Amino acid sequence: MAVHAEHLAHAHSESWIRKYVFSTDHKVIATQYIFTAYFMALLGGLLAALIRYQLGWGDQASPLLERLFPFGAQGGVIKPEFYLAIITIHGTILVFHFQTMMLTGGFGNYLIPLQIGARDMAFPVLNMLSYWVFLASCVVMLLSFLVEGGAAAAGWTVYPPLSVHAAAVAGSGLGQTIWLLSMALLIVATLMGGLNYIVTTLNLRTKGMSLMRLPLSTWGVFFASVIGLVTFPVLLAGAILLLLDRHLGTSFYMPTVYIGGQLVETRGGNPLLWQHLFWYLGHPEVYILAIPALGFIGDIIATFSRKPIFGYRLIIISFVVMTILSCIVWGHHMFTSGLNPYIAMVFSLLTILISVPFGTIILCYAATLWKGKIQFTTPMLFAIGFLSLVVTGGLGGLFLGTASTDLYLHDTAFVVGHFHVIMASSVLFAIFAATYYWFPKIFGRFMSESLGKWHFWLTFIGVYATFVPMHVMGLGGMMRRIYSPHAYQYLQQWVPWERVISIFGLILIGAQLLFVVNFFWSLFKGRRATDPNPWRANTLEWQTSSPPPHLNWGEEQPVVYRGPYEFSRPDTAEDYLPQNTPPVGVEVSGNGVR
């Protein structure tokens, strides 16, 4: 890049609003994403608390609930339609508005330009628009609780016909329309972001930053963006068709049915079409989350083991295989839907085969730990917790990916436990690890280690104690998405379990207060990160000041000479060797860093 940095810095003397609100600086946008996504996480967590309250003590009236939700909890008891709205919005905002946006829009946005040595994203204005569209999506989604009938209540998968006809369930009135609009906005935001991340990673790498020298975090966000670009538009199309079915009398998804005491005559449609379109994104979505999470964890494990990542190329190959496989396994959500049984067998086999690349990456990370000089910092604890959770969750996936055992386990608490371990918790652990790890870079201050460790222990115990028992209940035949476990005789033995799970679940949610306190306290009062590279890492983001200046680098962009994980080389005095440190004997004319 030939542009002179001073000149650029001068050009940036802009108003406060252009600098911090409508900024095109990827670091500011990333921070906006991080705050917004964490805010959505808090709301999603509060909804989870209501779910756990209902399943644990739903038969007891609580005056407090009535005061909080005069409509949803008349008489102090959560109404079934309110419960369904809660689970729907809980799932939607935590999967999409929190995890997806945090990993790609938040950390991906922040890290890609810094890790590849670029000054900003390829399309800074698009990047800014992406955030504002996302924010609109969040606002729209939350407004749906205020409309008549309440928020969407057909589950986060919003299967038709339940989600089409207002008489089918209370939330299928205006709330469902708002849900679809919010999702459409979110998809547009994702696409603008994803396009940016791909183009930036491919085209703006600094001198010497070959693809095989990219840190795993950047690779992770790159592959997630590829998957997102391939699959999110399909859901957008599906959502538009659903809107047409709801409001313009088409019948893509609706056969002639009899709902709420009246005949709904259509020209014939197929409810399974939505399931295909939804899961064509819905399943890859798991990998849109898992692959960046794996990437972040890779960076963190290498740094705190002081070792090169074991099998870097093997991991990249596994990412490629996962990216491809993730797009052709969606049918495993539909084994009992009336799907053609032959196709189901193919989906089942492909699904199970994902364990191969997934297992490869986990074993590579495990091997990275071997004989490392491990530093048990808070980010490293969350990273090891992540490894534990992905194995536990991944193995649970074998039960569900196998078609004939899914005949029994589909739509049971086993599924809920499984994806809360593999998706909700492990990805949450990656997000926490990333937050503790990159916080000093982003905000120039450290988060408190002792609060961080308490947060880790309570969260780790809480996650296992909440979600592992759900697997057992699922094996016992407990259905998911039920408002109360009291209706069935054979489920009575699990009622006390629900209560114990609720206690641990509420502890888990409560423990997140430690994080909130730590986050805000550290933001203003945390120990200053005077050293730009406090963890003694090799990747480029650590080779500029904390927080990095506008346009990231001083006068000139860094030049890269080696891979991202050259730790503990026998031929260096220090146990790390940053990517931009010139090899001995190479003349450098000020690469502008440090």
Footprint on residues 544-583 left by another protein (CB under 8 A): 563, 565, 567-570, 575
Beta bridge partners of 445: 528
276 binds another protein (CB under 8 A): no
Q: List the one residue from 1, 484, 499, 545 that touches another protein (CB under 8 A).
A: 484
Whole-Å CA distances, 376 to 279, 309, 385, 438: 39, 17, 11, 16
- Min dist CB 139 to another protein, Å, is 27
Q: List the one residue from 147, 230, 324, 479 that touches another protein (CB under 8 A).
A: 479
| Spatial CA neighbour of 194 closest among 276, 114, 117, 292 | 292
Helix, strand, or coil here: 263?
A: strand
Q: In the range 284-303, which residues lie near another protein by CB under 8 A?
A: none
How far is Cα 91 from Cα 47, in angstroms, rounded to an integer?
9
Kind and range of the H or E run holding 445: none
Whole-Å CA distances, 237 to 243, 431, 437, 511: 10, 30, 38, 39
Task: Name every residue whose Cβ is closer than 8 Å to that of residue 212 and which is 6 or more positions away in sequence.
Answer: 312, 313, 316, 563
Q: List the one residue from 282, 311, 444, 592 that touches another protein (CB under 8 A).
A: 311
Task: Name every residue whose Cβ is closer than 8 Å to that of residue 429 and which is 6 or more positions away in sequence.
Answer: 382, 383, 385, 386, 389, 459
267 binds another protein (CB under 8 A): no
Smaller CB separation from another protein, 307 or 550: 307
Residue type, 72: G
Q: List the one residue from 92, 305, 323, 326 that touches another protein (CB under 8 A).
A: 305
- SS3 letters across 109-168: HHHHHHHHCCCCCCCHHHHHHHHHHHHHHHHHHHHHHHCCCCCCCCCCCCCCCCCCCCCC
Smaller CB separation from another protein, 114 or 344: 344
Smaller CB separation from another protein, 67 or 527: 527
Q: Which two tokens stand for residue 61?
A: 């009236």
The label of the residue with tokens 């008549």 reads 148
- Min dist CB 46 to another protein, Å, is 22
Q: List the one residue from 408, 500, 555, 594 that touches another protein (CB under 8 A).
A: 408
How far is Cα 194 from Cα 130, in angstroms, rounded to an integer?
9
Q: In the range 8-47, which residues lie near another protein by CB under 8 A?
A: none
Smaller CB separation from another protein, 4 or 371: 371
Burial class (CB in 10 A: 0-12, 13-18, 19+), 39: middle
Alpha helices in 204-340 (DSSP H): 216-247, 271-305, 312-326
Q: In the range 314-333, which residues lie near another protein by CB under 8 A?
A: 314
- The span of 114-122, 223-231, 292-300, 351-359 binding another protein (CB under 8 A) equals 351-359
Q: Which two tokens stand for residue 205?
A: 């790498």
- Min dist CB 127 to another protein, Å, is 31
Smaller CB separation from another protein, 143 or 398: 398
232 binds another protein (CB under 8 A): no
What string marks each residue from 510 to 539 as x (binds another protein by CB under 8 A) or -? -----------------x---x--x-----
Q: List the one residue from 20, 71, 488, 520 that touches another protein (CB under 8 A).
A: 488
148 binds another protein (CB under 8 A): no
Q: List the one residue from 35, 75, 247, 256 that touches another protein (CB under 8 A).
A: 256
Alpha helices in 172-215 (DSSP H): 174-203
388 binds another protein (CB under 8 A): yes
- The span of 7-15, 173-181, 197-205, 395-403 binding another protein (CB under 8 A) equals 395-403
460 binds another protein (CB under 8 A): yes
- Min dist CB 533 to another protein, Å, is 11
Q: List the one residue from 116, 154, 234, 322 that touches another protein (CB under 8 A).
A: 154
182 binds another protein (CB under 8 A): no
Q: List the one residue from 144, 190, 392, 581 that touches another protein (CB under 8 A).
A: 392
- Min dist CB 406 to another protein, Å, is 9
Helix, strand, or coil here: 538?
A: coil
Beta bridge partners of 262: 259
343 binds another protein (CB under 8 A): no
Q: What string of DSSP letters covers 51-84?
A: HHHHHHHTTS--HHHHHH-TTTTGGGS--HHHHH
- Min dist CB 398 to another protein, Å, is 5
Q: Which two tokens stand for residue 176?
A: 């469902």
> No. of H helices and E strands in the chain?
19, 2
476 binds another protein (CB under 8 A): yes
- Min dist CB 584 to another protein, Å, is 18
Q: List the one residue from 1, 8, 324, 411 that touches another protein (CB under 8 A).
A: 411
- The span of 66-74, 125-133, 223-231, 353-361 binding another protein (CB under 8 A) equals 353-361
Q: List the one residue from 49, 352, 451, 506 that touches another protein (CB under 8 A).
A: 352
Residues touching another protein, count (CB under 8 A):
114
How far is Cα 41 from Cα 521, in angstroms, rounded to an integer?
19
- Min dist CB 491 to another protein, Å, is 9
Total residue length of the chain: 594
- Min dist CB 305 to another protein, Å, is 6
Smaller CB separation from another protein, 571 or 587: 571
Residue type, 445: R
Q: In the range 491-510, which residues lie near another protein by CB under 8 A?
A: 493-494
- Min dist CB 306 to another protein, Å, is 4
- Min dist CB 408 to another protein, Å, is 4
Q: Which two tokens stand for residue 573?
A: 């005095």
Burial class (CB in 10 A: 0-12, 13-18, 19+), 148: exposed
Smaller CB separation from another protein, 110 or 567: 567
Kind and range of the H or E run holding 258: strand 257-259
